[in-house]
Chains A and B, each alone.
Chain A
Amino acid sequence: MIAPVQTPRRAFAIGAPILQLDSISLRFGGVQALTNVSFNVLEHEVRAIIGPNGAGKSSMLNVINGVYVPQEGAISFGGEQLKGMTPTRAAHLGIARTFQNIALFRGMSVLDNIMAGRTLRSRASFLEVALQLPRARREETENREAAEEIIEFLEIEHIRKTPVARLPYGLQKRVELGRALAAEPKVLLLDEPMAGMNIEEKQDMCRFILDVNDHYGTTVVLIEHDMGVVMDLSDRVVVLDYGKKIGDGTPDEVRSNQRVIDAYLGVAH
């Protein structure tokens, strides 16, 4: 349909669960965003989270990432159960993400945004940067090289020095992907990476996501509305509705799940 057919042999075989979510419940005041949601994400796979609007998908991603703290439930990463996740901790664990409403640093250029993504790889202190001591200069060049690799991969060389605020929506989303990739993450969380894009842009984005997964072995968890994209891209799918999990399995299994069909067609609950 939209994305090219996946190559049958993967460079990185799907492995053990890298992320485990158990009985996650999340409340905001009187609103129950998530109720008792459990699922896992296997290493090197592409996992999609789908569901009607308001199902709690973004909240789920925010929980994985530590932006929201669930009232109940546990998160395990790499087999190790974590006592409380914060965004900084998630970053250190190797989880990177993009946001639904684009959270680029508007005052900076594309290159600077992507280089900013290399934060955790920069060890030089401010004093070293201020005095341009060898370690600072070396890191700056290394970070530049890494950023340029990503820029080339995402085919945005021509806009590398442009302030991001001036870019069209589709390119901004690509830059945000680049910034997330700059951290060389183990797990990439993508919140509606193709929202608002036309067919061509979607094709490109699909290609990039597949390449990232294939080339670097990055585990991808993505929220997406376009069913065609989901079916073609993902290895497994989780379906949420009104904060509860109503489906979990391969795209084909989920597609024929009656509860999922009902949720999307709006049958009265």
Chain B
Amino acid sequence: MFYREAGQFRTSYAQDAQILPLRQDRWGMAALLLAAFVIVPYVANDYWLSAILIPWLILSLVALGQNILMGYAGQLSLGSAGFMAAGAFACYNLILRVDGIPFIVAVLLSGVCAALIGIVFGLPSLRIRGLYLAVATLASQFFIVWALDKFGWFKNYDPSGVITAQQIVIFGHPFTSPQEKYWVVLVIVAVLALAAKNMARGSTGRAWMAVRDMDVAAEVMGLSLLRTKLLAFAISSFYCGVGGALFAFAYLQTVEPSAFNIDLSFRILFMIIIGGIGTIVGSFLGAGFILLMPVFLNVLFHGVFGQAVDATIISAFEQVIFGAMIIMFLIFEPLGLARLWQLTKERLRLWPFGN
């Protein structure tokens, strides 16, 4: 009875087109944002911020990028980690070589770099689809990581093969503590997530879905398949690139190209599948799930078996469970956690009445 839309009228198309048309949803979102921006930084301890919340936000951003490509544009991609790497190293090099470049500008430019590379590797999508495209994206994954590794220039010829991300400095103020880094990441992710939502609901998203569902009809309507698909690749890679830059600067600090391997690409794929393909909310839910599952398993195993369990066995079980969950989600709830969340909200609308 609290979550109802009775009495809330929308009297203009603009109102109907809002992201959160229900007043209760707006309150909920306001509360969430309040918690995220104000409460969490003061309440959460450093471990939670650095090891859980920051990577969660960053990986959600990357998952969002992948979701745009896979969910809205229907193009399969297994190369997200490669674009993250591109973004990370682009940001490092920009800050290194361009004196006084503002951090935010560097991050955005790294996204653009990744986007340009994404367009190049997205060109095959004009002629191929599905699995074939997935293999083409594997090409991008392997090639980018190899190139970053082999050409020492990217790493500033550091003999150790590892780069150390510089300090984050915005308007002269260094952001070094976990809280400060959390804020930077939170703001960037929130803005980009909003932008993604706007695109998905607007003419851009409709164009992507049209090309995904029935490209002949889309062409007949005047959509350029080339531009629509490449735009999807560009934007998706942009998000992955920004995510990669944040990954290096706000999370890992010391980075080598092989950290962005195919394994990471698969994990991001799993985030989308479990979270819900083609949804913004799903990216966040899926990322949280994949990130927390190992922690949860660790606790479970050590609780049940004590210290006797080998780390490799745990990671093997983790793999089995991930794989099994993927399959189960695909069978039972292909729309992922996001759909479960939606169903919950619909139940709430009728509560306390049953059906």
Chains A and B touch (C-beta atoms under 8 A apart):
yes
A-to-B contact residues, CB < 8 Å:
65, 67, 86-88, 90-92, 96-97, 99, 103-108, 112, 115-120, 122, 124, 126, 129-132, 136-137, 139-141, 143-145, 148, 179, 183
Closest-by-CB residue of A relative to B222 is A91
Complex interface: chain B residues within 8 A of A99 (CB) = 217
Q: Cβ of B32 < 8 Å from any Cβ of A?
A: no
1/0 per residue, CB under 8 A from A, across B220-233: the answer is 11111000000100
Shortest CB-to-CB span from B236 to chain A, Å, is 12
Complex interface: chain A residues within 8 A of B207 (CB) = 116, 119
* Cβ contact within 8 Å between A137 and B222: no
* Cβ contact within 8 Å between B202 and A129: yes
Complex Cα–Cα for A144 and B223 (A): 19
* Cβ contact within 8 Å between A136 and B202: yes
* Cβ contact within 8 Å between A67 and B210: no
Q: Which of B210, B216, B221, B223 contacts A96 (CB 8 A)?
A: B221
Please give me the 4 A-B residue pairs with the lowest Cβ-Cβ distance, nearest first. Answer: A91-B222, A103-B217, A130-B195, A105-B213
Shortest CB-to-CB span from A216 to chain B, Å, is 18
* Cβ contact within 8 Å between A88 and B224: yes
Complex Cα–Cα for A142 and B75 (A): 30
Provided the pairs A116-B210, A119-B207 are in contact, do residues A179 and B202 lie with their beta carbons within 8 angstroms? no
* Cβ contact within 8 Å between B219 and A87: yes
* Cβ contact within 8 Å between A140 and B214: no
* Cβ contact within 8 Å between B213 and A108: yes
Provided the pairs A105-B213, A140-B203 are in contact, do residues A116 and B198 lie with their beta carbons within 8 angstroms? no
* Cβ contact within 8 Å between B198 and A91: no
Complex Cα–Cα for A206 and B307 (A): 77
B-to-A contact residues, CB < 8 Å:
13-14, 16-17, 195-196, 198-199, 202-204, 206-207, 209-210, 212-214, 216-224, 231, 235, 278
Q: What is the total of A-B residue contacts with beta carbons within 8 Å?
A: 105
Complex Cα–Cα for A88 and B195 (A): 28
Complex Cα–Cα for A96 and B219 (A): 11
Shortest CB-to-CB span from B39 to chain A, Å, is 28
Interface of A is mostly: helix
* Cβ contact within 8 Å between B213 and A124: no
* Cβ contact within 8 Å between B213 and A107: yes
Complex interface: chain B residues within 8 A of A143 (CB) = 203
Question: 19 A-B Cβ contacts within 8 A?
Answer: A67-B216, A88-B224, A91-B222, A92-B222, A103-B214, A104-B213, A104-B217, A105-B217, A116-B209, A116-B218, A117-B221, A120-B222, A122-B203, A126-B231, A129-B198, A140-B17, A140-B203, A144-B17, A183-B222
Shortest CB-to-CB span from A189 to chain B, Å, is 9
Shortest CB-to-CB span from A107 to chain B, Å, is 5
Complex Cα–Cα for A116 and B206 (A): 6
Shortest CB-to-CB span from B32 to chain A, Å, is 20
* Cβ contact within 8 Å between A67 and B220: yes
Complex interface: chain A residues within 8 A of B221 (CB) = 91, 96, 116-117, 119-120, 179, 183
* Cβ contact within 8 Å between B204 and A126: yes
Closest-by-CB residue of A relative to B234 is A126
Complex interface: chain B residues within 8 A of A105 (CB) = 209-210, 212-214, 217-218
Provided the pairs A116-B210, A137-B14 are in contact, do residues A91 and B220 lie with their beta carbons within 8 angstroms? yes
Shortest CB-to-CB span from B278 to chain A, Å, is 8
Shortest CB-to-CB span from A28 to chain B, Å, is 16
Complex interface: chain B residues within 8 A of A179 (CB) = 221
Complex interface: chain B residues within 8 A of A120 (CB) = 221-222
* Cβ contact within 8 Å between B204 and A88: no
* Cβ contact within 8 Å between A131 and B217: no
Complex interface: chain A residues within 8 A of B204 (CB) = 126, 129-130
Closest-by-CB residue of A relative to B19 is A132
Complex Cα–Cα for A205 and B199 (A): 35
Complex Cα–Cα for A124 and B13 (A): 18
